[in-house]
Structure 1
């Protein structure tokens, strides 16, 4: 696969179990610390999963934006 100079951004929703004590269920909230180990782990997992399904050479480089939504778990 050839590499282009353009960056490709993928938005990949994931569901991760979280502690909901004292948290209201509802809308999306910005994730402040994108360098948090759990957040980058989720990003790497999402890219790896997408890479396997699409058979493209995606690579995790960085995260530009993160949001969470509390439901019966937490969406990232």
Structure 2
């Protein structure tokens, strides 16, 4: 009879690494502390953050950049 230890180790590592495709890990959503793509870059709050970032950059550098639009972005997922 073959030794089942290698197969058991493989299953353990798959589950520890996030599970099998379609399992419970795939349904949880983004990893806390990780990054996720911003789904709606036209959201007014996202535009407000972009304008603020450009304004603060101009204050700190003496620059004269102008906010036009958000093309893409990522957000950090935090608990709470």
Same structural fold, with TM-score higher than 0.5 when normalized by the shorter chain: yes
TM-score computed with the length of structure 2 as normaliser: 0.57
Q: Given the superposition, is the C-alpha separation of residues 72 and 48 from structure 1 closer, same or farther in structure 2, using an over 3 Å criterion?
A: farther
Q: Which has the higher contact order (CA 8 A, sep 6+)?
A: 1
Match of 1:71 in 2: 78
Following superposition, the deviation at residue 24 of structure 1 comes to: 4.9
What CA distance in whole angstroms lies between the structure 1 residues aligned with 2:52 and 2:63? 15
Unaligned runs of 5+ in 2: 1-29
Are 2:12 and 1:36 equivalent residues in the alignment? no
- Give the Cα–Cα distance (whole angstroms) in 1 for the partners of residues 60 and 38 of structure 2: 27
Of Structure 1 and Structure 2, which has the larger fraction of its residues in helix?
2
Higher Cα Rg: structure 1 or 2?
2
Q: Structure 1 or 2: larger strand share?
A: 1
Runs of 4+ in 1 over 6 A off after TM superposition: none
Residues matched between the structures, number: 52
